[in-house]
Amino acid sequence: MRVLIVEDERKIATFVRKALLEAGFNPTLCATGAEAMELTTNERFDAVVLDIMLPGRDGLSVLRQLREQHNTVPVILLTARGGLNERIEGLNLGADDYMTKPFSTEELIARLRAVRRRMSGEGLSVQQYADLTLNLITREVVRAGRKIELTTREYGLLEYLIRSPGRVFTRSQLCEQVWDYHFDPGTNVVDVCVQRLRRKVDEDHSVKLIHTVRGVGYTLKGAA
């Protein structure tokens, strides 16, 4: 999978490139919006990891021109913490996903693989782990053949966990990604939602899927 990394912070770019190489990707680096446009015009990439804050031409203008030229290459935006308006604008311009700095290279790799599955038509509408299934279009949740009714927030939390099974998410990460809080709300909103979700998903099953990692956060794991 050929991935163009557009990032002007050399340390971050080098770190991401090393992680992608180790994961079996074929990464190319560039540091400016102008160079990104030249590369995407003359070469074919399977995905672009595009920082919004670039010297000279910013990432959103690059994304806008790509879509105006009918270039459908999947784009994952890298945004600054708290840049909600930028993320909304990026998604409206045609970005496929976004990540907030600082980010985990493990999560970036998982998102790149998810983009590849979507582009190939694999797993487009269904996420599955063990005997738990989420339909991303109908938002129907089923475990062991039994439909589970979830609130909008419970569904959002479960969808986020199931996209990266085995990964431990902190409460702060869940607040940011599921609740879109970029600050500590000073409440136990995450813990309460996890408790409700656990009752609905795990209560009648011997194999528990939603686990607490003491002092860290929560993860989805079990017999997959």
31 phi and psi angles, rounded to 5 deg: -120, -5
Residue environment code for 95-133, b if the CB has 16+ CB neighbours within 10 A, otherwise e: bbbbbbeebebebbbbbbebbbeeeeeeeeeebebbbbb
Residue 224: predicted pLDDT? 42
* Tokens coding 43: 């070469």
Q: Which domains does the chain have, with CATH numbers?
A: 2-120 (3.40.50.2300), 126-220 (1.10.10.10)
Sign of CA dihedral 174, 175, 177, 178: positive
CA distance 41 to 32: 14
Distances (CA, A) of 203 to 111, 142, 148, 200, 210: 30, 14, 12, 6, 10
Residue 120: predicted pLDDT? 63
The strand pairing partners of 126, in sequence order, are 135
- Identify residue 136 by its one-letter amino acid code: L
Mean pLDDT by 10 residues, the chain (224 residues): 94 93 92 96 92 93 94 91 78 90 89 80 69 86 94 92 87 85 74 96 94 93 67
Name the CA radius of gyration of the chain, rounded.
Answer: 19
Residue 85: predicted pLDDT? 82
CA distance 95 to 127: 21
How buried is 7 (Cβ within 10 angstroms: 0-12 exposed, 13-18 middle, 19+ buried)? Answer: buried
Residue 121: predicted pLDDT? 57
User: Are 13 and 40 spatial neighbours (Cβ–Cβ below 8 Å)?
Assistant: no
Sheet with 2-6, strands from edge to edge, namely 26-30, 2-6, 47-51, 75-79, 97-100
Residue 115: predicted pLDDT? 83
Rounded to two decimals, the pTM is 0.56
